[in-house]
Amino acid sequence: MQTQFFTAHEIDKAAAILQAGETLAFPTETVYGLGADALNSEAVLKIYAAKSRPRFNPLIVHCASLEQALEQGHFNEMALKLAKRFWPGPLTLVVPLKNKNLSDIALAGLQSVALRVPNHPLALELLRKVNRPIVAPSANPSGFISPTKAFHVHDLNGRIGGILDGGACQVGVESTIVACLDKPVLLRAGGLAREVIEAITGKLEISDELIAPGQLKSHYAPRNPIRLNATSFAKNELVLGFGECEGMSLSRDGNLQEAALNLFAYLRELDSLGQPIAVMPIPSHGLGEAINDRLKRAAT
């Protein structure tokens, strides 16, 4: 398959790719997603094929607005409160399924659906133009590092319909996932800090791995060995630091938001040099929870 490349000015052509039942990589504020029409199982299957993604791992349905999201799932009071407060934004809500026309394959047969309204002008414009819910996992081969720049998606060249280039993402790690089936439960740490959500929900329950079927222990894996919480370094090791340090620093002023933004791009850059990577300790509050989660999976 010939992958087509689009700039922001060519958004109409990019939208047409999705409408034709093909896959399109597009920017969101968190990471680049690989989109397909959520109502078209044939299109959705192309996502699983392009990523070599296990079929039991359901996809997030992206909506242009809260109104569109309300047509897809049943929102309890807490879900509605969270959606109104944080959408558009890096928060995914898992709620009971309402729209039975959503592709069964996208939902991996579940009776719940993961929904999100992304906070990215180009993503929102695309979703409005296509005028359909769009499923989108991160646009990387399954198990590899998520893309935060358009050129990172080139790992999928020849396997997807197109790439819409919207520059670098602004958050850098995937959305936080909260299930609102009964009491709210944290399924995945992500781009919206848990503390910010808990200011509304109170202390969140944290799921065991079984509830978020795609939360594989090993994920985001670089090709070279990676060691965490390193405080001393071997000669051949490339340092990924935090704060002032000798090697590459995720944030010289110790800013966790900046560190999240740089995490995947820096991991890719270091990995391309073909030597083991040693990562310095990173605080675990705020976006540090998502950063440490991704690093732990990368090291497994």
Q: DSSP assignment, residue 147?
A: P
Please report where in the chains the tokens 């720049």 appear, as a residue.
149
Binding site residues, ligand TXA, CB under 6 A: 28, 30-31, 33, 57-60, 92, 94, 110, 112-114, 116, 118, 136-138, 174-175, 177, 187, 211-215
Is the CB of 38 or the CB of 238 nearer to ligand TXA? 38
- The answer to whether 176 contacts Mg ion (rule: CB under 5 A) is no
- The answer to whether 138 contacts Mg ion (rule: CB under 5 A) is yes
Residue 60 contacts which entry, Mg ion, ligand TXA, none (Cβ below 5-8 A, type-dependent): ligand TXA
| Angle at 167 (CA atoms; ends 165, 169), nearest 5 degrees | 115
Is the CB of 6 or the CB of 144 nearer to ligand TXA? 144
Cβ at position 245, least distance to ligand TXA in Å: 28
Q: DSSP assignment, residue 9?
A: G
**Are 125 and 96 spatial neighbours (Cβ–Cβ below 8 Å)?**
no
- Which secondary-structure segment (H or E) carries 60? strand 60-62
**Are 60 and 90 spatial neighbours (Cβ–Cβ below 8 Å)?**
no
Is the CB of 138 or the CB of 201 nearer to Mg ion? 138
Cβ at position 179, least distance to Mg ion in Å: 17
- The answer to whether 201 contacts Mg ion (rule: CB under 5 A) is no
Cβ at position 29, least distance to ligand TXA in Å: 8
Residue 30 contacts which entry, Mg ion, ligand TXA, none (Cβ below 5-8 A, type-dependent): ligand TXA
**Encoding tokens for residue 101?**
């026309």
Tell how far CA 182 is from the center of its chain. 24
Neighbours of 121 (CB within 10 A): 13
- Residue 159 carries which side chain, given as an amino acid letter? R
Is the CB of 138 or the CB of 262 nearer to Mg ion? 138
Q: Which residues bind Mg ion (CB under 5 A)?
A: 138
